[in-house]
Amino acid sequence: MSEQTAYDPTAPEGESSSGSQYLSKKDAKWLIVAAILVFIGLIPVYIFMREKAFRSTCVKNMNGIMEAMVLYSAQHDDRFPPLYNANGDGEPDAGKEGYAYTWVSDVWPYKSDRVDFVCPTAKPEEYAYSANPRGGDPIPSTYGFYAPYASYSTLMVDHPESVVILAETSNGGSENTYDPLPYKSTKFDGMIIGWNNSNEWPDEETNKITRLAFPDTKNGLEKMSSARHDKFINSITANRSRIYLSPDDLRTEYSPTRYSLMGHWLEPVKVKTK
C-alpha cells in the first residue's frame, strides 16, 4: 500500500511538502513568458492568414461584379454599362453631394447580396462613391472599370483573355496613388481607370495608367512602390480570367502600326486615334 502525503498542521507557514502539485512562482513566470513568446510568434501567421482571406474576398467580389455586368449586358444589347452620365463638358454629371451616376450605379442592382464593391484591404479614404439608383446611401467602390470599353459590345473585345475590364483602384490620389488628371466635376473618380494624359482616350503620348491601387506612385514610378495586396492587385479580363497586376503594369506600350495601346490596356479596335 503506497504512502500518501498528509497535511501537517504543525509545518512552518510557507513550507510545502515534497508531494505538492502547486506551481512555484518561478515556474508560473516562465510559463507566462513562454505563452507570450508563442503569441508573438503567431502574429505573423495571423496577419498572413488574414491577408490571404482578404485577397480571396476581393477576388470573389470582382467575380461577382463581372457576373452582375453579364446580367446587365444581357438586358442592354450585350454591351458593357456606360462609364457615367456626362454633363456638357463630358465629365461625370455629379449631384450636389458630388455623387455621380456611374457604371457602379447601373451594375449594382444586378449583384448578389454576397458581393461587395469594396475590397476589405482598402482604407476608407480610397473609396469612391456613386449615386444609388434606389435612392439610398451612395455606393462605395474600390474597383475601377477600364474607360474605353464603356458601352462597348461584350462580344467584340479583341484579346478578351488579356484585356483588363476591372481592376482595383484608389480614389482621388489617396495613398499617394497615381492620378494626374482627376475629374473636376466630382470628388470621386476611383471607379474609372484612365490614362496619364487624357480622360477621354489614349494616344501615342500615353505612357501610364491612372488610379490603380499602387501606393506611392503619385509621381509615376520614380521609386519603388507597393500594391494593395503586398506586391500586386487583382484584375479581371473581358473573358473573366483573373490577372495579377504589379506596379510595372502602370506603364503602357503604344503600337504605331495599330494606333493603339498594347497588352492589358488595348482599347477597342474599331476606334482609331490617328
The label of the residue with cell 496619364 reads: 196
Beta strand residue intervals within the chain, DSSP E = 128-130, 139-141, 143-146, 164-168, 192-195, 209-210, 233-237, 242-245, 254-255, 260-261
In the predicted model, what is the mean pLDDT of the chain?
Answer: 87
pLDDT at 122 over 80: yes
16: in domain: no
14: in domain: no
188: in domain: yes
Strands 143-146, 192-195: pairing kind: parallel
Minimum mean pLDDT range among 160-164, 248-252, 257-261? 257-261
CA distances from 248 to 36, 104, 137, 207, 244 (A): 41, 27, 36, 11, 11
CA–CA gap between residue 190 and residue 94 (Å, rounded): 14
Sequence-distant (≥ 6) Cβ neighbours of residue 150 within 8 angstroms = 80, 81, 82, 83, 103
43 residue type, one letter: I
pLDDT of residue 21: 56
pLDDT at 29 over 50: yes
pLDDT at 65 over 90: yes
213: in domain: yes
CA–CA gap between residue 198 and residue 206 (Å, rounded): 8
pLDDT of residue 44: 65
pLDDT at 41 over 70: no
More confident residue, 149 or 33: 149
pLDDT band at 37 (very low <50, low <70, confident <90, very high): confident
CA distances from 129 to 13, 64, 180 (A): 71, 19, 19
271: in domain: no
pTM of the model: 0.81
pLDDT of residue 221: 87
- The average pLDDT across 70-85 equals 97
Share of the chain above pLDDT 70, in %: 84
- The average pLDDT across 240-265 equals 94
- Domain housing 83: 25-265
pLDDT of residue 271: 46
189: in domain: yes
- The average pLDDT across 264-272 equals 75
More confident residue, 96 or 2: 96
Number of domains within the chain: 1
Main-chain phi, psi angles of 4, to 5 degrees:
-115, 140
166 residue type, one letter: L
Structure confidence by residue, pLDDT tens digits, 123-182: 999 999 999 999 889 999 999 999 999 999 999 999 999 999 999 999 999 999 999 999
CA–CA gap between residue 216 and residue 196 (Å, rounded): 16
65: in domain: yes
6: in domain: no
